[in-house]
Amino acid sequence: MPGSMPLQTREHITPPASPEAKSRTSRLRPLLGRIILGICFLGAYLLLTRSGVILESRTGFTVWYPANGLAFAVMLGVSPWYAPLVVIADLLSLVMFYHQRLFSWSLALDPLGIAAYAAAALILRRRWRIDFNLTHRRDVVRYAVGALAAAAFSTAAGVGGLLADHSLTWDQSWLSAFSWYSGDAIALLSIGPTLLIHVLPWVRKQLSMFAPNASGSQELRGFAGMTVAEALETVAQLLALVLVLWLMFGPSLSRLGVYYLSFLPIIWIAMRRGIARVSIAILLFNFGVVLALRIFIPESIPTVRLGTLMLSVSFTGLMVGSSVSERDRIGDELHQQTLHLHSLIENSPFGIVVLDPLRRVQLCNAVFESIFLFSAREMSRKTLESLLSARHELDQMRELSAQVFAGQAVHETIRHFRRDGKFIDVEINAVPLRREGRVEGAYAIYNDISERARAQEQAENDAASLKRWVEELQLRTTQMALLNEMGDMLQCCANTLEARSVVSRLCRKLFADAVSGMLFEFNSTPDVVEATASWGNSHISESSFAPPACWAVRRGRAYWSEPASDGILCSHFMSQDAVAVLCVPMMAQSEVVGLLHLQYGSLLAAKDGDQQVSEKHRKSL
């Protein structure tokens, strides 16, 4: 087909790997990495056991044996299962370099010392779980305890083998044991930490590349990113090491015995760069001591005492360096936590303020500034009470501050008057800040709830209005039912007396809030209005009076009178005992034919409602 892709031939097709082949490859790749590491370790171990590298005393005892540091670091930093390889490497070195007999107690007991190192590595890895970077002082102490305890067992096995082979007398055993232990301890405290911190992370990374579906996460610690000042300081520290070695072993200076100067550059490097850099300095110092002895060959220097010095310098440098690294690590963690806390405070939607022990503003965010309308600089080192102007709010704030600094948590809502004259509703949540059981400050969160307060107030008003409307609707329904009943009853009345009786009874129910009431009509003459029906006990109106005596009759509409006030009253009132009186004229063909008089004992909120009911009652009559 034109334009189509060419067909692949059988030769160009790569058959997929079978599951068995993939499984075989996945098993072989880690094994290949272990084999490469084993070969490299074997070569390095044999190199470090040569007589030109180790340091021996005049009596023939080893004072510096760096191969043990390498072996222990590999068993600890990679796997304790490298112990058999260490045994093989140590046996080879004894046979090749020191011509040890194959059938001897020294060769037979040598694996026991290596087994002690493997057990110590296993405990440090699984029981104590130390950090291989040794940034914690606790990890350095545990490493030293485990390594030095294993060195004691190794020394016992080694010296015991020499005694069994009669290569050593009992008189020489104690000095031999001290030299042996000192040589192992120096290597463990100098070479071991350096390899754990700087080399073995890279080795683990390389081994992880041989594992299927794995990638290394550790990186080799280097000097990348070093500033010019740090580089100059590093050069000065190296020169200080060289100078100290020259003062200790120089041809004309060795007799001074200024061995104590060896602590100065080590402590300097430890204080400035921590465990990572001082471990390298210790290794360089120890190799420098061995190299200086090879170059200058000062006969007056006792190698056993020199080994003790190397051990002391190594341990001191590790402890000081680990303390500095731990301090720097804690400082970095505190810095990160502080940045995180500041970010949370600054980006919080609520106003946040922190007070010091003197109740002064120590820290606040932008939202808090917008609530008080003061900048952080204006509020700094001032109390919150000094920023308030309203007396009521000032008293509230003093009370809340007293509660918080007394150790109580506070949750309160106040009305805050700002400097622009406006007020806002603020919800305050404050807690005391304690240190060692004492209140050292306060932490408060301010939430502007003005919108919520207004919405809540509006909702309460709407609910009250709705409730009032429902009650009024129920009242109107009852009143309309009574009015309809009155109309029906009046239609059925046979004479005026029955009608008056119906009006008297139903008005008592219709105007339940009224203390009493009266119904006036024009009877014989239009110049006099007479009471034809009444209910209740006390009446302030006269039973008959001239129509002009009532303002409701004059105006032709309902009229409210309040005898207890200074308002205009109807002249037919005999007393002022009532608080409010409602007079409603009854009209027929535009003429007043009667009057409805209602007397109340208190001012009513439903004045208009009663007036509307009385109007309907008037029409019914």
What is the tens place of the pLDDT at every residue in 166-188? Answer: 888 888 888 888 888 988 999 99
- Two tokens, residue 63: 């004072």
pLDDT tens readout for residues 54-87 = 776 655 557 778 999 999 999 999 999 999 999 9
For residue 444, the tally of other CB atoms under 10 A from its CB is 21
Q: Are strands 559-561 and 544-545 parallel, antiparallel or unpaired?
A: unpaired
Alpha carbon distance 203, 216 (integer Å): 10
pLDDT tens readout for residues 1-58 = 334 334 344 344 445 555 555 555 556 777 888 899 999 999 999 999 887 777 766 5
pLDDT band of 422, cuts 50, 70, 90 = confident
pLDDT computed for residue 191 by the predictor: 94
pLDDT band of 561, cuts 50, 70, 90 = confident
Least confident segment among 366-370, 442-446, 452-456: 452-456
pLDDT tens readout for residues 219-261 = 444 556 678 998 999 999 999 999 999 988 888 777 787 889 9
Alpha carbon distance 588, 579 (integer Å): 30
Residue with the bigger pLDDT between 140 and 534: it is: 140
From residue 447, give the alpha-carbon distance in Å to each of 187, 348, 351, 393, 408. Answer: 63, 11, 6, 16, 19
- Smallest Cα–Cα separation from 48: which of 73, 69, 63? 69
pLDDT computed for residue 621 by the predictor: 47
pLDDT band of 487, cuts 50, 70, 90 = confident
pLDDT computed for residue 3 by the predictor: 41
Phi first, then psi, for residue 166 (nearest 5°) are: 60, 25
Alpha carbon distance 34, 39 (integer Å): 9
- Smallest Cα–Cα separation from 75: which of 85, 66, 64? 85
Question: Residue 587: helix, strand or coil by DSSP?
Answer: strand
pLDDT band of 577, cuts 50, 70, 90 = low
- Smallest Cα–Cα separation from 262: which of 295, 307, 232? 307
Q: Which amino acid is at 308?
A: T
Decide: 596 and 584 in contact? Cβ < 8 Å.
yes
From residue 277, give the alpha-carbon distance in Å to each of 261, 291, 294. Answer: 19, 21, 26
Alpha carbon distance 67, 70 (integer Å): 5
Alpha carbon distance 28, 212 (integer Å): 10
Tell whether the model's pLDDT for residue 458 goes beyond 80. Answer: yes
Alpha carbon distance 79, 21 (integer Å): 28
Beta strands in 1-152 (DSSP E): 55-56, 62-64
- Two tokens, residue 212: 């299927």
Element (H, E) at 429: strand 423-435
Alpha carbon distance 37, 17 (integer Å): 28
Residue with the bigger pLDDT between 24 and 326: it is: 326
Q: Which amino acid is at 435?
A: R
